[in-house]
A = this chain, B = another copy of it.
Amino acid sequence: MPRRTKAEAEATREALLDAAEDVFLEKGVSRTSLEHIARHAGMTRGAVYWHFKNKADLFHAMLDRVKMPLQQIIDDITAERQASGPLNTLRLATLHAFEMLERPRSCRVHTILMHRCEFISDINPVELQNRLASDCREVVRRCFQQAHDEGLLIDEIAPDVATLMLHSMIGGLVHDWLRAPDSFSLRESGGEAIDSLFQLITRSARS
């Protein structure tokens, strides 16, 4: 029974993307065929090829439904640069990214990106994440530099080192948590670790 209403067509498109998330998460991207996805959504491959050009197109459509955590951090930092100082801006942006990641769809999609796929067509997530990481590091670095200039950072830590510490901690926490979300709480334990880092490198807190 083809040709539903326009709203129903959009619903099946979303259903196909939902199914893609499920199957990608379970079997990995390269091992799932479009047939798998279609059947999991209760349809056939024809529906997939109607809504999407091919597997890569579907994959990118799936990515478009979520926001990259590093992009979120970049946006948060550049948006509210006043707040209560650069260090607090960094800390809050990080915690905000953690909150976003705990949303089910975000969690699934980013787990797929980090642990369930290697390449997709010619645009691979490694390069994508690479650019994002580079941009994010630069924004964070400028923030730490500003904190340093305002005397908020302790002398023992150079802005570049603080940048690497924060950036690697974020990446490591996200990576580990997405691999095993039940092993610890990203918001609680992860947030605690981030808070501790900022407590350690903030001058006023240690005198």
Contact = CB atoms under 8 A, between A and B. Distances in A.
Interface of A: 27-31, 115-119, 124, 126, 129-130, 133-134, 156-157, 160-161, 164-165, 167-173, 175-176, 179-180, 183-184, 189-190, 192-193, 196-197, 199-201, 206
B161 A196 contact: yes
A156 B116 CA distance: 38
CB-based closest 10 A-B pairs: A172-B172, A168-B172, A171-B172, A30-B30, A28-B118, A28-B119, A200-B200, A168-B173, A164-B193, A165-B193
A168 B189 CA distance: 11
A130 B176 CA distance: 8
Contacts of A130: 179-180
A161 B192 contact: yes
A176 B167 contact: yes
Contacts of A161: 189, 192-193, 196
B165 A118 contact: no
B164 A190 contact: yes
Given A157-B196, A175-B175, A179-B133, A117 B115 contact: no
Contacts of A29: 118
A183 B164 CA distance: 12
A115 B118 CA distance: 6
A156 B193 contact: no
28 contacts: A27-B119, A28-B118, A28-B124, A115-B118, A117-B118, A118-B118, A133-B176, A156-B199, A157-B196, A157-B200, A161-B192, A161-B196, A164-B184, A164-B189, A164-B193, A167-B176, A168-B171, A168-B173, A168-B190, A168-B193, A169-B169, A169-B172, A170-B172, A171-B171, A171-B172, A171-B176, A172-B173, A175-B175
